[in-house]
Structure 1
């Protein structure tokens, strides 16, 4: 005997339960952040291991810059350490798309998409997870430099880490957008990654001063958001919180964050 189900019952059964609906951007973002942070808590050694690169730059480039400055160790560190912090933010968040590529290959990313979470929360929560190692590593780099003459200004350091975190969320979101665009071509992600990162790094003046560079380098640096971020970090870590360079850095970090989230959310909606 066939049972005819009333249309009203079908309509009710097809509706998602109230508890399955998105509960708000902040709550969703926190949920994603906690989920993504669990591997980091279980394996904190990965954060320590990723410190090798910035410490190598600090240990190898630092003496060369000290020699070029006539032996002014403290002054060189005051100029160089903020650039190292920006480098940590740049490389740390630029590679976050690689994690998404792995999740797409294993199918775990598709499973998260059926959860009652907003696409923007999925993106921002993932990006915030990568800000935590950034803050930890940046703090350790500064503390390592203090015994060698670096003058630590605590309010400036805290403000500098906040600016870097804002930038990191946006740049991490752009990395996720790139991963979505290259989901079937892993090699393309790494090609774009390497092609863009090193010019951005060199043309920001984070490792070497651009004062004696050619005019085209100055023009490229003027449109490089990292240049303004580096200038802001140098002012903030020196304790000059009201410097004009800080305003430029805040604007660059905020613009990167907004653009990254907009591009990333659109990429997620388009891909799925």
Structure 2
């Protein structure tokens, strides 16, 4: 089978599994919705702070939540592929006519579809809460966060295949993801941070993607933040896909 054919078959299989277990999608929305409901209203009092420019504070807060959703909904998919590898399902697929890269791409496409659905629901709730943003910018932001989801899914699958143990994988996620998210400015603009912290955050690829999401929500399609963020997201997606493909091949 070609890579495209394998990807489509695995995508269909993965989507059927997800639709039979919709609780996973719902649980994935709980955390950002809690931030939206419990933390978002507090922003109304700080609209004049640096990074908000006196505008709609939801335009700053919601894009950060979308990136956070893209990261968290993707990195946990690694647990599933560890289970499939242990049970022998992955090995049986690999010795069939299925292409190895397609085994990953099909799963990653499913992850991207689930993330996009979550992003639409989250943003819809934000519009009810008070978000105002141009439709074109929101759609472009959805596309960008989908690329982020693909990148993080590739990283998750590659790391999970290399580690091969749920406990170790979970500990690595905690060690890597928490500081990465804190240094990305997902909740508050890094303009509020002291100079040393803002400088450190610039080395974090996610911080550029968060800036791009906020620029898109403001309708700034060709700003430096947008162009840099798109380039970073595309580069991450390409690298992590290569990383995951290398990991699944090395496990042959």
Native 8 Å contact 1:231 1:249 kept in 2: yes
Say whether residues 1:33 and 2:11 are aligned partners: yes
- What 5-or-longer segments of structure 2 have no aligned partner? none
Of 154, 164, 170, the match for 1:173: 154
Shift of 1:32: 1.2
Q: Which has the higher contact order (CA 8 A, sep 6+)?
A: 2
Query: Highest Rg: 1 or 2?
Result: 1
Native 8 Å contact 2:158 2:248 kept in 1: yes
Of 105, 109, 114, the match for 1:124: 105
Native 8 Å contact 2:63 2:213 kept in 1: yes
Of 86, 95, 111, the match for 2:67: 86
Shift of 1:48: 2.1
Task: Describe the SS at the equivalent of 1:242.
Answer: coil
Question: Separation in 2 of the partners of 1:231 and 1:209?
Answer: 9
Q: How many residues align?
A: 249
Say whether residues 1:188 and 2:187 are aligned partners: no
Normalised TM-score (structure 1)? 0.86
What is the aligned-residue RMSD (CA, Å)? Answer: 1.9
Of 144, 152, 161, the match for 1:163: 144
**Aligned residue runs from structure 1 range 68-83, under 5 A:** 68-69=46-47, 75-83=56-64
Say whether residues 1:96 and 2:55 are aligned partners: no
Q: Deviations over 1:89-128 (max 9, x none)?
A: 0101111101111212222222221221222111111111
Question: Separation in 1 of the partners of 2:158 and 2:176?
Answer: 15
Normalised TM-score (structure 2)? 0.92
Question: Separation in 2 of the partners of 1:84 and 1:213?
Answer: 18
Native 8 Å contact 1:232 1:246 kept in 2: yes
Deviates more, 1:260-269 or 1:204-213: 204-213
Say whether residues 1:58 and 2:36 are aligned partners: yes
Q: Which residue of 2 aligns with 1:11?
A: none
Q: Which residue of 2 aligns with 1:255?
A: 235
Q: Deviations over 1:190-242 (max 9, x none)?
A: 11101111111111111122224233322221111111111111111222222
**Aligned residue runs from structure 1 range 260-271, under 5 A:** 260-271=240-251
